[in-house]
Amino acid sequence: MYRLARAALFQLPPEISHSVSLKGIACAERLGLLRSLTAKQPRQPVEVMGLKFDNPFGLAAGLDKNGDYFNSLGALGFGFVEIGTVTPLPQPGNPRPRLFRLPQEQAIINRMGFNNHGVDHLVNKAGKRRYKGVLGINIGKNLTTSIANAQQDYCIGMEKVYPVADYIAINISSPNTPGLRDLQNVDQLDQLLDVLKDSQARLAERHGRYVPLAVKIAPDQSDTALCEIAAVLRDKQIDGVIATNTTVSRQGVENNRYAGEQGGLSGAPLEARATEVIATLARELDGTLPIIGVGGICDGAGATQKLAAGASLVQIYSGFIYRGPALIKDMAAAVAAAS
């Protein structure tokens, strides 16, 4: 059924089909159709970052930027859903076209630029939560905020989302906000995390609950840089790391007509590199903090490879666009068979 729906949706411009798909899923949930349209997911409980997940399969940030659809998306069988990236103030993102499908390569290129309705809108939506799984909220900085003042935006985002998040993801790795990836440089990362951990401690005391922080990193780092990042994350006692965001590499899509488009590449061409990054981090971190593996998972084998490389949880995005809810079932079956 999803193949037929995808064929029709792929006739539309990517952003329009994205909106139509999400509205369709929300409508199906309201009508009570999702249970009949999706297979029941076996429970594969796991505890990560002090949180209990019904299964280790999550939806990555970017699909539901504003928190408008996470209740419906979660009903498809995800153990956790991450919404955002959200910024303190609403912003339109980059000019269109900014989203490109590469079906032959099972890939997507985007340069969305943190388009979102602002953190207050997302918090309002998250406050109307029906989803029983784990909810992560991914925060970033506004385009108009300088890198020198980025800490301020992340602190605003943390303070706003803290009461409604189960964990907070710190996005410092999108290639579509100029200068953002500079925050991964060791000195800047050290300073940023100092501020965020102090803010986390204050918020935990204020709200009477500890909300874990996970840092989302790029796949385009050298192994040396990854080791340095791992050392900072460990030293600052960050609760988790999300590996990885999209890549600026065009390896695997060199001959596609969209290869020259600026933005981050996701999907199958990223799979091998994302798994390598996970393995490198796992060696360096040596179990001191968990890894959420994301990047190029298009089948059950992809999920088992990420977990075998050292991830405790996995997330999907592009694979979900191409495969639909069946991918969740495939991952669950493959991981159960491998365990």
Residues 67-106: pLDDT tens digits? 999 999 999 999 999 999 999 999 999 999 999 999 999 9
Report the alpha-carbon distance of residue 327 to residue 76 in Å, rounded: 11
Q: Among 247, 108, 101, which Cα is nearest to 174's?
A: 247
Report the alpha-carbon distance of residue 6 to residue 322 in Å, rounded: 8
pLDDT given for residue 141 in this prediction = 98
pLDDT given for residue 215 in this prediction = 99
DSSP element (H, E) containing 240: strand 240-243
Domain that holds residue 18: 2-338
Of 21, 72, 173, 174, which one is the catalytic site residue? 174
Least-confidence region, from 30-39, 120-129, 324-333: 30-39
Task: Enter the tokens of residue 192.
Answer: 């940023």
Q: Rounded mean pLDDT of the chain?
A: 96
pLDDT given for residue 14 in this prediction = 97
Task: Enter the tokens of residue 110.
Answer: 């985007």
| CATH at residue 59 | 3.20.20.70
Domain count, the chain: 1
Report the alpha-carbon distance of residue 114 to residue 91 in Å, rounded: 7
pLDDT tier for residue 3 given thresholds of 50, 70 and 90: confident
HSE of 333 in the Cβ direction (CA atoms, 13 Å)?
A: 9
DSSP string, 101-156: EEGGGTEEEE---S-BS-HHHHHHHHTT----SEEEEEE---TTS-GGGHHHHHHH
pLDDT tier for residue 191 given thresholds of 50, 70 and 90: very high
What percentage of residues in the chain have a pLDDT greater than 70?
Answer: 98
AA identity, residue 111:
R
Active site residue 173: no
Residues 161-174: pLDDT tens digits? 999 999 999 999 99
pLDDT at 239 over 70: yes
pLDDT given for residue 176 in this prediction = 98
Instruction: State the first-to-last Cα distance of the chain, in angstroms, to the nearest integer.
Output: 30
Report the alpha-carbon distance of residue 216 to residue 241 in Å, rounded: 6
Work out the number of other CB atoms within 10 angstroms of the CB of residue 257: 9
pLDDT given for residue 39 in this prediction = 60
* Length of the chain in terms of residues written: 339
pLDDT given for residue 2 in this prediction = 84
Q: Which residues contact 1 (CB under 8 A, 6 or more apart)?
A: 37
pLDDT tier for residue 37 given thresholds of 50, 70 and 90: low
Asked if 203 contacts 211 with a C-beta cutoff of 8 angstroms, the reply is yes
pLDDT tier for residue 35 given thresholds of 50, 70 and 90: confident
